[in-house]
């Protein structure tokens, strides 16, 4: 045991002192922060401003706008079509929307000197349809578009679809669609984290083993310790390195995001628009749907949605999720790390590792492919079998666990955890037999047949 502790200490200290570890520990939170912030920043500032000059001879589309996309702005002009075409060629205007006086089925024509994205064309078409529908509603039914939007929103936001789960004892528990969405998101995040961490730190184990074998340092080490002690010491040492790096990343990421959010609050504030209720233009039959004490959309609907989100979030057992995340991370890491160490001990260079890496990466990749189906059917047969096979259960089971007892029965969790532990022990045992034989073997091309022969050796 003392020898294993010495190996763990040596592995940990050597890795922590490396420049690559220090650089990645510093860059990791920065890169993850950029990964989180980039979509937000692109949505806020990444779109090019597009000014669309509108020549409307039909006088129908007098109020084109883009409320949902602030990067597009409509500017009306009274210049002739020929003059506007010249301005377009001279790059004085970006886009020209021409609507003729006798509008045909085509509606209008968009002139531009370069190709437009589908988003701009869709925005123009949607704006024209919205403007025309507003005119029809106002002239035919004396209803403004704003009033109609308020009425529709006040009714559709009241619709909430719930789900009642009945267990074997006839006990009922209620769920809603918001909870389902939260559970899916949490499951996917846990699956992605497990996938990244397992491969990142298992690859570190492989590189460390291969480096010592290539430098012939291992020949000196195994004269004092058994190969299995060396392998286990390396695996645990890298695991401690991973936990150290992970904790630093998490704390640094929280600090960085907190500083950014505090420094630039507008970046994280969603744009909301109040819709005025023009009750005087609304038929009397609509009045009972709109709050009588205010002419703006009542905030109670938004409060209901927010409260529903908070209630759903609070109903999730995060203590259980954290416990099983740590369990499957540790077990999944040991299962794969031992096999990666065996590969590193069997080959002489990184090129030879490729033929053995593919069978190890396939199970988790296959689980990733099936992740969406597992999230949609967490109590299905595919989800069950993926969650009890040790090579796939770290991802599959973590996707299912946020759904609670409705999707994962207690006996399934016990079975999955038991098989996971058995798989780890079996993996370490098989890997140690390969590692023991291959760690001192040089200059021989290793095949699967050769590895099977090493596993069957009885002498230790």
Structural domains of the chain, with CATH = 2-36+181-267+312-456 (no CATH), 49-141 (3.40.190.10), 274-304 (no CATH)
Whole-number Cα distances in Å, 207 to 15, 54, 229, 245, 360: 12, 63, 18, 18, 16
Whole-number Cα distances in Å, 388 to 108, 193, 223, 289, 313: 60, 19, 40, 52, 27
Q: What pLDDT sits at residue 56?
A: 84
What is the three-class DSSP state of 65?
coil
Cβ atoms of 221 and 231 within 8 Å: the answer is no
- The DSSP letter of residue 271 is P
Cβ atoms of 128 and 122 within 8 Å: the answer is no
Tell me how far apart the alpha carbons of residues 72 and 124 are, in angstroms, rounded to a whole number: 9
Cβ atoms of 348 and 213 within 8 Å: the answer is yes
What is the tens place of the pLDDT at every residue in 233-245? Answer: 888 888 888 888 8
Tell me how far apart the alpha carbons of residues 320 and 175 are, in angstroms, rounded to a whole number: 19
Tell me how far apart the alpha carbons of residues 23 and 19 are, in angstroms, rounded to a whole number: 6
Whole-number Cα distances in Å, 38 to 34, 45, 48, 174, 181: 5, 10, 16, 37, 23
Closest among 192, 175, 176, 165 to 398, alpha carbons compared: 192
Backbone phi, then psi, for 176, in 5-degree steps?
Answer: -140, 170
Per-residue pLDDT in tens (0 to 9) along the chain, 460 residues = 677 888 888 878 877 888 877 888 888 778 777 776 776 666 666 556 778 888 888 877 777 877 666 678 888 888 888 888 888 888 888 888 888 877 655 567 888 887 766 677 888 888 888 777 777 777 667 776 667 667 666 666 656 555 565 656 666 665 556 677 777 888 888 888 888 888 888 888 888 888 778 777 777 777 777 877 888 888 888 888 888 887 888 788 788 777 877 776 665 555 444 433 344 444 444 444 444 444 444 444 445 444 555 666 666 777 888 889 889 988 999 899 988 888 888 887 777 777 788 888 888 889 888 888 888 888 888 889 999 999 999 999 988 888 877 678 889 999 999 999 999 999 988 888 888 887 777 777 777 788 888 887 765 4
pTM of the entire predicted model: 0.64
What is the three-class DSSP state of 214?
helix
Backbone phi, then psi, for 173, in 5-degree steps?
Answer: -135, 140
Cβ atoms of 368 and 460 within 8 Å: the answer is no
What is the three-class DSSP state of 411?
helix
Cβ atoms of 232 and 4 within 8 Å: the answer is yes
Tell how far CA 258 is from the center of its chain: 20
Burial 16-32 (b: 16+ CB within 10 A, else e): eeeeebeeebeebbeeb
Cβ atoms of 295 and 277 within 8 Å: the answer is yes
């Amino acid at each position: 045991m003392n020898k294993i502790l010495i190996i763990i200490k040596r592995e940990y200290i050597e890795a922590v002192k490396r420049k690559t570890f220090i650089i990645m520990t510093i860059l990791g939170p920065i890169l993850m922060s950029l990964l989180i912030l980039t979509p937000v920043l692109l949505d806020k500032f990444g779109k090019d401003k597009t000014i669309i000059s509108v020549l409307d001879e039909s006088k129908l589309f007098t109020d084109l706008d883009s409320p949902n996309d602030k990067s597009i702005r409509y500017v009306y002009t009274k210049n002739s079509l020929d003059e506007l075409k010249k301005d377009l060629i001279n790059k004085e205007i970006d886009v020209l929307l021409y609507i003729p006086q006798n509008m045909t089925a085509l509606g209008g024509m968009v002139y531009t000197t370069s190709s437009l994205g589908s988003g701009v064309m869709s925005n123009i078409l949607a704006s024209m349809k919205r403007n025309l529908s507003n005119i029809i509603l106002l002239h035919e039914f004396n209803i403004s578009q704003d009033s109609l939007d308020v009425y529709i929103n006040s009714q559709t936001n009241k619709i909430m679809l719930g789900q009642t789960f009945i267990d074997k004892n006839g006990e009922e528990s209620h769920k809603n669609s918001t909870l389902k969405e939260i559970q899916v998101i949490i499951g996917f995040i846990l699956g992605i984290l497990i996938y990244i961490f397992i491969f990142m730190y298992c690859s570190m184990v492989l590189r460390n083993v291969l480096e010592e074998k290539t430098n012939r340092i291992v020949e000196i080490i195994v004269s004092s310790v058994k190969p299995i002690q060396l392998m286990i010491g390396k695996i645990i040492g890298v695991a401690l390195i991973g936990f150290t790096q992970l904790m630093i990343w998490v704390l640094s990421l929280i600090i960085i995001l907190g500083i950014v959010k505090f420094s630039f609050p507008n970046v994280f504030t969603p744009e909301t628009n109040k819709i005025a209720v023009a009750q005087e233009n609304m038929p009397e039959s609509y009045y009972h749907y709109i709050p009588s004490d205010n002419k703006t959309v009542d905030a109670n609907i938004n409060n209901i949605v927010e409260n529903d989100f908070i209630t759903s979030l609070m109903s999730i057992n995060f203590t259980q999720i954290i416990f099983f995340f740590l369990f499957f991370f540790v077990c999944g890491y040991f299962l794969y790390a031992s096999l990666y160490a065996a590969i590193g001990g069997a080959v002489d260079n990184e090129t030879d590792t490729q033929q053995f890496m593919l069978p190890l990466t396939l199970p988790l990749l296959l689980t990733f492919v099936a992740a969406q189906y597992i999230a949609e059917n967490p109590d299905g047969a595919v989800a069950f079998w993926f969650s009890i096979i040790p090579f796939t259960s770290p991802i599959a089971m973590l996707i299912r666990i946020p759904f609670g007892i409705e999707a994962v029965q207690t006996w399934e969790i016990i079975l999955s955890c038991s098989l996971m532990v058995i798989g780890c022990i079996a993996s370490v045992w098989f890997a140690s037999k390969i590692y023991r034989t291959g760690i001192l073997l040089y200059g021989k091309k290793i095949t699967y047949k050769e590895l099977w022969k090493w596993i069957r050796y009885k002498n230790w």
